[in-house]
Amino acid sequence: MRRAIVLVISSVLSLAVATPAYAASTVDYVALGDSYSSGVGAPGQSGTCLRSNTSYAAQWAARNDPASFQFLACGGATTDDVRTSQVPAMRAGADLVSITIGGNDAGFAPTILTCLTSSDSACAAKVAEGRAYVANTLPAELDATYDAIRAKAPDARVVVLSYPLIFDTSSILCEMSVAKRRSLNEGARVLDEMIKQRAEAAGFVYSEVRDEFTGHGVCSSRPWLNGLTIIPPQNSYHPNGSGYTSGYLPAFSGAA
């Protein structure tokens, strides 16, 4: 029953994406953030920032024809990168800003690597290390980043998107054990909760993508995220084309 409800909601959201609720031709849109905003994992990545036209940001701009579109999101970006490189590059007068950020600060890549190559207990310990960072250090980093965005675009609607839970935990056969998958998903949930808390404290709009990705994690029958990928390696554990089109794009469109 839950799956049927999710499918119905997804269909409704798809229709909403296809028919914009407003004319965006006067909107100046800026896409900030990390690999989940630049489009890593999808076809057509290019440049040092690995930006793709299949990213939710580029798709939204193509469908809504804003007055201007600055695609500043960059694979591997941290909160510090957003503050020192991306925000200064923003043109004045942005009306709409989107961002995913915080995952690299919390150690996304080294945590995944540890869980791939080590024991269940080592994976859990590495996730716990990241959770401690999220609880103790990340809040101030997010606050400073959100303050910088607001200072540069004081009148913009800023949409902060979450990260999905990467793994399906119901399947037996997978590249990671169930214990590792649960540890990583719980780490992602804790990260998302902190991002939500700080985004709302900043007066920004928080958009949760976990509902859109329900049933589409790595090792599910219809994954919207890449599993371990050898060529190109950066695609590992990032959304695929379906993840950006059917997951992130509706989540952003509904909040923009």
Residues near 119 by beta carbon (within 8 Å), at least 6 away in sequence: none
Tokens encoding 210 = 């976990």
Among 183, 238, 246, 253, the one annotated catalytic = 238
Specify whether 35 is catalytic. yes
Residues near 154 by beta carbon (within 8 Å), at least 6 away in sequence: none
Specify whether 11 is catalytic. no
Rounded to whole angstroms, the maximal C-alpha distance in the chain is 53
Residues in the chain: 256
- Tell me the β-bridge partners of 33: 100
* 3-state secondary structure string across 179-224: HHHHHHHHHHHHHHHHHHHHHHHCCCEEECCCCCCCCCCECCCCCC
Distance of CA 199 to the CA centre of its chain: 14
Q: In whole angstroms, what is the distance from residue 165 CA to residue 127 CA?
A: 14
What is the 8-class DSSP label of residue 47?
T
**Is residue 244 a contact partner of residue 225, using CB atoms and an 8 Å limit?**
no
What is the 8-class DSSP label of residue 85?
I
Q: In whole angstroms, what is the distance from residue 31 CA to residue 53 CA?
A: 12
Among 35, 37, 52, 246, the one annotated catalytic = 35
Active site residues: 35, 238
